[in-house]
Amino acid sequence: MLGPVSELLRARGAATWAAATGHPMVAEIGAGTLPRETFRRYFEQNTQYLEDYARAIALVIATAPSREAISVLSRFLAQITETEIPANYSFLERLGGNAGVALEPAAYAYTRHLLDTAARGDLAAGLAALLPCQWSYGEIGQNLAAAGGAPDDPFCAEWIALFSGDGYDDLVQASTDLLDQYASAARLEELAGVFDRSTRYELAFWDMAYGSANG
């Protein structure tokens, strides 16, 4: 038996997934040593990214074939619009950032991929595009929280708490379960192309944010 489609998709791109979730910028957040300038640049891009991410989730909700799917995706959307976007803007304000800066090429390309897939595809394709972000951040949050106590730097500690707190893992599980429910093994190659592209963009986003302040 092949196993859940979500696990197969993640396993196929394991090297890129590991590079994203174990990125040097992630390690510095966990240690509480990430320079404020790097964090500021990250939030300048991420606030805008998340707004398009929310739009992509809304497009996928329009394809939902059941009340259960609508419920899960609505929770997913609320996590972004009611928790993560306000938190990102709060971080940005405290760090003295500018929400109106132009999107870097990596961030722009990632948002276009999400919006295009969500608009053209069905529920399975949309979730395959969306999940690498939600799923990898949940893994990062849990890994950093399990590695030790909260770092002394308040920005790093608050960021980790966003993705390691009660309920986030449950939402990730509900989202991956939804993909497994509506994605058939016969579509594995198609969905892998979508999922892998999002995972590569996750890594590119970390590289962009970290490299802009680290040469």
Asked if 212 contacts 43 with a C-beta cutoff of 8 angstroms, the reply is no
The encoded tokens of residue 130 equal 């969306």
Local structure of residue 79 (DSSP, 8 states): I
Annotated catalytic residue: which of 28, 84, 104, 133? 133
The reported pLDDT for the residue numbered 148 is: 76
The reported pLDDT for the residue numbered 166 is: 80
Tell me, what amino acid is at 24? Answer: P
Active site residue 202: yes
Per CATH, domain 5-214 is 1.10.1040.10: no
Share of the chain above pLDDT 70, in %: 97
Asked if 135 contacts 76 with a C-beta cutoff of 8 angstroms, the reply is no
The reported pLDDT for the residue numbered 213 is: 45
Q: Does residue 149 carry a pLDDT above 80?
A: no
Rounded to a whole number of angstroms, the CA Rg of the chain reads: 17
Share of the chain above pLDDT 90, in %: 92
Higher pLDDT among residues 14 and 3, named by residue: 14
> How far apart are alpha carbons 187 and 124 in whole angstroms?
9
Active site residue 156: no
| DSSP per residue, 5-61 | HHHHHHHHTHHHHHHHHT-HHHHHHHHT---HHHHHHHHHHHHHHHHHHHHHHHHHH
Mean pLDDT of 128-157: 95
Q: Does residue 185 carry a pLDDT above 60?
A: yes
The reported pLDDT for the residue numbered 3 is: 63
The encoded tokens of residue 87 equal 């938190």
Mean pLDDT of 49-58: 98
Annotated catalytic residue: which of 44, 84, 104, 202? 202
Q: Does residue 212 carry a pLDDT above 80?
A: no
Tell me, what amino acid is at 202? Answer: E
Mean pLDDT of 160-182: 95
Which of the four pLDDT bands, split at 50, 70 and 90, describes residue 150?
confident
> How far apart are alpha carbons 156 and 30 in whole angstroms?
7
Mean pLDDT of 71-94: 98
The reported pLDDT for the residue numbered 128 is: 98
Q: Whose structure tokens read 């997934």?
A: 17
CA atoms within 13 A on the CB side of 141: 19
Q: What are the tens digits of pLDDT across the range 112-130?
A: 999 999 999 999 999 999 9
Residues whose CB is less than 8 angstroms from the CB of residue 166 and which lie 6 or more positions away in sequence, other chains included: none
Exposure class string for 128-156: b at 16+ Cβ within 10 A, else e = bbbbbbbbbbbbbbbbbbeeeebbebebb
Q: Does residue 215 carry a pLDDT above 50?
A: no
